[in-house]
Amino acid sequence: MSGYNVVGQRVPKLDAAQKAMGRAEYIQDVRLPGMLFGKILYSRHAHARITAMDISKARALPGVHAVLTGKDIPSKMRMGFYKDNPPLKADKVCCFRDEIAAVAAVSEAVAKKAVSLIEVEYEPLPAVFDPEAAMEKNAPLVHEAHKSNVLKLPWKLHYGDVEAADKASAYVVEDRFTTTWVTHCCLSTSGAVALFDASDNLTVYSNTQIPSLAQKDFLETLGAMGLKGKRVRVIKPVIGGGFGSKLDTYAYEHIAILLAHKCRKPVKILFDRKEEFEATSTRQPTVIYIRQGCDKEGHLTFRDIRMVLDNGGRTSWGATTPSVMMMPITSLYRVPNVRYDAKCVYTNNTYAQAMRGYGNPQATFAIESCMDMLAQKAGIDPVAFRRINQNEPGDVTPQGFKITSCGLAQCIDAVEKELTQGRPLEEGEGIGYASLIHVGGGARIYKSDGCGAILKMDDYGRVDIFTGGTDMGQGLDNMIAQIVAEELGLLAEDINVVHTDTDVCPWDVGAHASRSTFVAGNAALWAARRAKQTLLAFGAKLFEVAPEDLVMENRTVSVKNDPEKTMPVDKLLRKAHFSPGGTMLMADYFYDPPNENMGKDFKCNLSVTYSFGVHGVRVHVDKETGKVTVKNYVAAHDVGRAINPMLLEGQVYGGVIMGLGYALSEEVMIKEGQIRNPNFRDYKLFTAKDAVPIKAPVIETHDPDGPFGAKGIGEPGCVPTAPAVANAIYQAVGVRIKDLPITPEKVLAAILKQSKGS
């Protein structure tokens, strides 16, 4: 049907059998000769001065090789893009998560014991935990040198004339929404192993999503340590879940490097689950004020959003999520006038990082909840209201996004059809909808949005492809294998994808922004095209035809319309190899999509293409307990083309359940800066028993720039889930919950308040 043999097939994940047999090696399983174990000591206060630290007992413990404190690290070492975070803090702590000392010892038990022997004296300081309070004049300063708790970041835009549009609107709604901390909960906890060779070249095993940028960060660390001109090699073991958590480098990686250099031995730091909750990052929490209007016919007239983001005590990528929130704010539905202002504010809480969707779920929660409120005010059915405002191919949004392929309309149709067919609504049930836009072709957030691919073919018709991209379970290996196999007329199993080692793999900006299928896929596709060109040129000589007259299919090269003239690929490869002046098939490609950097006013075409989706959900609300039960869920996405429908569905299902957790159950509970539920007992991930029936209609719009028409789909599954649920709850029982997660307490409180009011 599609005319493709491998693309579009449900090829099992290439590493699935290894994983099914328990043979995949994760960071937990990395063990090097002579390896020591590192442990980190964290702050006991949310905000305090360190007045004294005594490490003598720890150092004296047999088996301890090194103890490091903030005083021992190079003064220039700073982590994160805002450079406010030394890997060990010397004088002052700004949150419970602050690392203040570290130990390397012969075993985990000894390291743990040694850490417990470090004596620290603190002078507690007044702390601030509410970002809005932290903006007030007399609020305690989290970083005195910064002079203000508000970060100096440029998240502000205004396109069109919001005030005029506001005045001219027939209907306007406004409200306040909040989203709280949730966290990635990768089943594999974080960890790293660092070791130096005799010449001070560094190797780091780390389950990172950004091998090339991690390499750069580690080189900076070496520079600060006075080790200029040395090499850094980053090796990724099999990654046990990413979801954005591994998009920055963390203190534990830099500490492992410092300890390894001090001890001249490999040092491994592996988090336990409590540490994973307490010392890794969260999704960015937000306070959102939204005002939105439409005209009499229901056309959106303006959207005006102000946000306060709790930045916590230090800065990681969470502070840049407003740059992605701009996407739904300016470009989800046609809205001519847009204003947005976001402030990131230091507090003494934990701090946020990238997490699947990168700000989009938070912004979409407010926008799509508000869409239903506005539709109601305008007296228009929520689905019809979305149709009136839907994005269309050829649109240029106020931010300058050029919409090429766009299947939002088809997605709305598909979801509505699935949800309204069959069983009528029962008492206490309601249906809610929400849409999404996300970058589908990468996003230029760094100087380069590129990815390299190096391809070689052997004498047996097999391909090794070295990609900069990262598979952390989402299935990039298959995308690359299926794309390359399709292009070269091979089978997916003929393709070996290597993505684990910066010594052999080319550069890539990282596994984020749902970009890997598109960017790493295109790089692989172009490398395959180059290889094909070379091979066909050789074949053309052999068969005495033009290269255009040859086809590669079913592991053979044949002359079109002449079935006699055919040769298995492996034979042709050997002929090329062993002919005089022999040729080995090798090709490479660096693909950098024509995505634009954000200008001063943030106008740009951030991504060469955009993915769209619509989610719909039927819920039941128990009016006496406030408990929300998801009856069924439909998530339709415009993916351009499904390279592998099975893995695509896996991304959607996984995203939806993560989104439902965000909507209903998950929450890192923080009280006065301290995490109260650092375990799976009280951090409520969905279990198999909570799993809900999900349908995932796939809309294929064949994107002109995507590899075989494909767009990114890694993140969208969890983007509009929370507002779809909130809208369904409103339809069911008439209460609107504006604060995530939507717990039974919140729903019941709203129901009781409503019944008292009436």
Partner 1 sequence: MKPFTLLTPATVEEAVALFGQHKETARYMAGGTDVIVKVKEGWMGPDYLINLKKIPGLNDLHKNEATGELSIGALVTHAMLEQSLLIRNAYPIIYDAVSNIGSLQVRNMGTIGGNLINAVPSADGAIPLIALDGTALLVGPDGERSVMVKDLFVKPYETVLTPGEILTRITIPAQVPRTGSAYIKFGRRAAMELPLIGIGVLLVVDEDLSTCTRARICLGVAGPTPLRAVKAEQMLEGQPVTSDLLTGAGKLAAEESQVRDSVRGQAWHRKEMIRVQVRRMGLRCLDIINQKARQA
Partner 2 sequence: MTKTISFILNGDEISCDIQDHWTLLHLLREELGLIGTKEGCGNGECGACTVIVDQLAVNSCLYLAADVQGKQVQTIEGLAVHTGSLHPIQQSFVDNGGIQCGFCTPGMIMSAKALLDKDPKADQEAVKHALAGNICRCTGYVQILDSVAAAGRQMAKNQGEGAAAAKDPGTITQQSMNKKAGEVIT
Binding site for partner 1 (CB under 8 A): 624-627, 664-665, 669, 676-677, 680-682, 684, 686-690, 743-745, 748-749
Stretch of residues binding partner 2 (CB under 8 A), selected from 71-79, 169-177, 241-249, 523-531: 241-249
3-state SS, residue 669? coil
Element (H, E) at 754: helix 744-757
* Residue type present at position 113: K
**Hey, which residues between 332 and 371 contact partner 2 (CB under 8 A)?**
none
3-state SS, residue 510? coil
Site string for partner 2, 198-237 (x = CB under 8 A): ----------------------------------------
CB of residue 682 vs partner 1: minimum separation in angstroms?
Answer: 6
Interface size with partner 2, residues (CB under 8 A): 55
- Sheet strands (E) in 313-396: 337-346
Q: Closer to partner 1 at the Cβ: 448 or 625?
A: 625
Among 6, 26, 86, 103, binds partner 2 (CB under 8 A): 26
Question: Could you say which of partner 2, partner 1, none residue 273 binds, taking C-beta under 5 to 8 angstroms by partner kind?
Answer: partner 2
Regarding 138 and contact with partner 2 (CB under 8 A), the answer is no
Q: Closer to partner 2 at the Cβ: 17 or 384?
A: 17
**Hey, which residues between 320 and 339 contact partner 2 (CB under 8 A)?**
none
Q: Which residues contact 139 (CB under 8 A, 6 or more apart)?
A: 128, 133, 149
Question: Could you say which of partner 1, partner 2, none residue 296 binds, taking C-beta under 5 to 8 angstroms by partner kind?
Answer: none
Question: Could you say which of partner 2, partner 1, none residue 164 binds, taking C-beta under 5 to 8 angstroms by partner kind?
Answer: none
Regarding 630 and contact with partner 2 (CB under 8 A), the answer is no
For residue 497, what are the β-bridge partners? Answer: 465
Q: How many C-beta atoms surround the C-beta of residue 262 within 10 A?
A: 17
Q: Which residues contact 442 (CB under 8 A, 6 or more apart)?
A: 449, 513, 515, 518, 519, 593, 595, 607, 608, 712
Q: How many C-beta atoms surround the C-beta of residue 555 within 10 A?
A: 15
Measured over the CA atoms of residue 501, residue 502, residue 504 and residue 506, the dihedral's sign is positive
CB of residue 319 vs partner 2: minimum separation in angstroms?
Answer: 25
Q: Closer to partner 2 at the Cβ: 81 or 680?
A: 680
Regarding 63 and contact with partner 2 (CB under 8 A), the answer is no
Regarding 25 and contact with partner 2 (CB under 8 A), the answer is yes
CB of residue 652 vs partner 2: minimum separation in angstroms?
Answer: 8
Regarding 177 and contact with partner 2 (CB under 8 A), the answer is no
Regarding 381 and contact with partner 2 (CB under 8 A), the answer is no
Stretch of residues binding partner 2 (CB under 8 A), selected from 12-20, 482-490, 505-513, 528-536: 12-20
Question: Could you say which of partner 1, partner 2, none residue 677 binds, taking C-beta under 5 to 8 angstroms by partner kind?
Answer: partner 1
Regarding 15 and contact with partner 2 (CB under 8 A), the answer is yes
Q: How many CA atoms lie within 13 A of 168 on its CB side?
A: 12
Token digits for 516? 């890997």
Question: Could you say which of partner 1, partner 2, none residue 279 binds, taking C-beta under 5 to 8 angstroms by partner kind?
Answer: none
Nearest to 695 by CA among 651, 630, 633: 633
Residues 37, 266: Cα–Cα separation, whole Å: 8
Q: Closer to partner 2 at the Cβ: 20 or 164?
A: 20
Residues 74, 557: Cα–Cα separation, whole Å: 59
Q: Closer to partner 1 at the Cβ: 176 or 676?
A: 676
CB of residue 180 vs partner 1: minimum separation in angstroms?
Answer: 14
Regarding 689 and contact with partner 2 (CB under 8 A), the answer is yes
CB of residue 334 vs partner 2: minimum separation in angstroms?
Answer: 32
Token digits for 355? 């997490």
**Radius of gyration over every alpha carbon of the chain, rounded to an integer in angstroms:** 27
Among 2, 5, 19, 61, binds partner 2 (CB under 8 A): 19
Regarding 694 and contact with partner 2 (CB under 8 A), the answer is yes
Q: Is 563 exposed, middle or buried (0-12, 13-18, 19+ CB in 10 A)?
A: exposed
DSSP secondary structure string, 580-639? TT----EEEEEE---PPPP-TT--S--SSSEEEEEEEEEEEE-TTT--EEEEEEEEEEE-
Q: Closer to partner 1 at the Cβ: 324 or 751?
A: 751
Specify whether the CB–CB gap between 455 and 504 falls below 8 A.
Answer: no
CB of residue 684 vs partner 2: minimum separation in angstroms?
Answer: 11
Regarding 109 and contact with partner 2 (CB under 8 A), the answer is no
Element (H, E) at 144: none
Question: Could you say which of partner 1, partner 2, none residue 624 binds, taking C-beta under 5 to 8 angstroms by partner kind?
Answer: partner 1
Q: Closer to partner 2 at the Cβ: 146 or 684?
A: 684
Start-to-end CA span in the chain (Å): 58
Nearest to 372 by CA among 121, 734, 756: 734
Site string for partner 2, 656-685 (x = CB under 8 A): xxx--------------------xxx---x
Residues 516, 477: Cα–Cα separation, whole Å: 10
Element (H, E) at 22: none
CB of residue 253 vs partner 2: minimum separation in angstroms?
Answer: 19
Regarding 21 and contact with partner 2 (CB under 8 A), the answer is yes
CB of residue 95 vs partner 1: minimum separation in angstroms?
Answer: 19
Question: What is the DSSP code (8-state) at residue 139?
Answer: P
Q: Which residues contact 330 (CB under 8 A, 6 or more apart)?
A: 157, 159, 303, 338, 340, 397, 398, 399, 401
Token digits for 40? 């980190």
Element (H, E) at 105: strand 99-105
Regarding 187 and contact with partner 2 (CB under 8 A), the answer is yes
Question: Could you say which of partner 1, partner 2, none residue 292 binds, taking C-beta under 5 to 8 angstroms by partner kind?
Answer: none
Regarding 640 and contact with partner 2 (CB under 8 A), the answer is no
**Hey, which residues between 469 and 498 contact partner 2 (CB under 8 A)?**
472-475
Residues 492, 111: Cα–Cα separation, whole Å: 46
Place of tokens 């695509």: 648
Token digits for 701? 């719009």
CB of residue 679 vs partner 2: minimum separation in angstroms?
Answer: 6
Q: Closer to partner 1 at the Cβ: 259 or 660?
A: 660
Question: Could you say which of partner 2, partner 1, none residue 676 binds, taking C-beta under 5 to 8 angstroms by partner kind?
Answer: partner 1
Regarding 650 and contact with partner 2 (CB under 8 A), the answer is yes
CB of residue 66 vs partner 1: minimum separation in angstroms?
Answer: 24
Token digits for 332? 């989800």
Beta strand 628-638 with 698-699: parallel, antiparallel or unpaired? parallel
Interface residue list for partner 2 (CB under 8 A): 10, 12-13, 15-26, 28-29, 184-189, 238-243, 272-273, 472-475, 646-647, 649-650, 653-658, 679-681, 685-689, 691, 694
